Amino acid sequence: MRVLGIDPGLTRCGMGVVEGSVGRPLALVDVGVLRTSSDLEVPQRLVTIERGVEAWIEEHRPDAVAVERVFARSDVSTVMGTAQAAGVAMVVAARIGLPIAMHTPSEVKAAVSGSGRATKQQVGAMVTRILRLDATPKPADAADALALAITHIWRGGAQARIEQAAARQRAALATARRAR
C-alpha cells in the first residue's frame, strides 16, 4: 500500500509518501513541504496547496490519503488556515476517488512512538527509525506527514475493515427488521 500523508497548514503543508504493509518494513517514497507566502491572499494560498496536492498525487499515485484531523487550538486563525488546507487536500483526493482517512495528532503520536503525548522530536526520531533514514526530515511538518502515512498503513486498513464489518452488520440487522 502506498499512502500520501498530509500535515495540513496554510504556510507549510507537510507531504510524505510511504509504501509498505503491516508486518513488513516500510519505505520512504518522497517527503517535502508545500509552502505558501503570507503575502498572498488566502484564496491564492489555497489554490497553491490544491495544485501542490494534485501534483503529489499525480506523481506518486497513492492508494490512499491520510490527513491530520484538525483540532481546536488557542489561536483561531491558525486553526482556520489548517482546516482550510485540510479541506482542500481532501477535496483533491475525493475528486480523484482516493480513499481519505483522518487521524488525530494523538493517534499518530501513539502509533509511531507508543505515546499519544510524544513530542515533535520524539515523533521525528521514530519516523527516522521506522523508515531507516539517515536524518530526521525537516521541518517537523514533513516528519509529521510521514508519521500520518505510517499510521494509516499500520492502523487504517484495520480500521476500514472494522467499519466495513460494522456496516454489514447494520445492513443485516435492518434486513432482519424489515423481514419481521
pLDDT band of residue 2 (cuts 50, 70, 90) is very high
Average pLDDT, rounded, for the chain: 92
Q: Model confidence over 134-175: pLDDT tens digits?
A: 999 999 999 999 999 999 999 976 666 666 666 678 888 888
Q: Is 30 annotated as a binding residue?
A: no
pTM (2 d.p.): 0.87
CATH number at residue 22: 3.30.420.10
Query: Grid coordinates representing 163?
Result: 467499519
Q: Is 68 annotated as a binding residue?
A: yes
The conformational region for residue 41 under phi > 0 = left, psi -120 to 50 = alpha, else beta, is beta
**Exposure string for 4-32, b = 16+ CB within 10 A, e = fewer:** bbbbbbbbbbbbbbbbbeeeeebebbebb
Question: Active-site positions?
Answer: 7, 68, 141
Q: Model confidence over 13-62: pLDDT tens digits?
A: 999 999 999 999 999 999 999 999 999 999 999 999 999 999 999 999 99
- Domains in the chain: how many in total? 1
Residue-range definition of the domain harbouring residue 113: 2-179
